[in-house]
Amino acid sequence: MKSTRSMVLSMRLPVETGRRLKRMASRHGWTPSDASARLVEEGLRRSEFAFIDFRDSPIGRQAYIQGSTLAVWELLLLCRNYKEDVAAVARHLGWPETKVQAAVNYAQAFPREIDEAITENDATDFEQLKRMLPQAVEFAFGKPVRC
């Protein structure tokens, strides 16, 4: 969520909320101002796009589909495999079409964010993945290989 221009807004927070914001900022290596700007942006996106949520992941905060473990960019990869057929993807996942369409709508609104995530995924090999997820198992056709 990068922005080239910004504006200053002042807000009052309850003391405990301010402390929680500072802890979150510290945990992520952000300033409290950056953390609050991110949270406001994420809240606005949640209100503008159905079924979208934001979570921390091994590669940072990402847009996810509510009630699932799929990041929006992962769902878009699945859509590409199904030649952009939202109904086919919904059948594959056992989801309502509206949930898949919500991810497509989000991706259309924020293509750079989605494209960057897909590009990063494409550049990640299994060895890098194993460092992030030690439980990862590489599968060869027909037989799993434990690492």
Residues above pLDDT 90, as percent of the chain: 69
β-partners of residue 52 are 65
Rounded Cα–Cα distance for residues 52 and 116 (Å): 18
**Which tokens sit at 85?**
């057929």
pLDDT value for 127: 86
Out of 1.10.287, 1.10.10, 3.30.420, 3.40.228, the CATH code matching 51-133 is: 1.10.10
Residues 20, 23, 24, 30: is their CA dihedral positive or negative? positive
DSSP letter for 4, please.
S
Residues 129-143 pLDDT 10s: 788 788 888 876 666
The residues spanned by each domain of the chain are: 15-48, 51-133
pLDDT confidence bin for 146, thresholds 50/70/90 = low
State the chain's mean pLDDT as an integer.
90
Q: What are phi and psi of 136, to 5 degrees?
A: -60, 140
CA separation for the pair 109, 120 (Å, rounded)? 19
Tokens at 82, concatenated: 């199904």
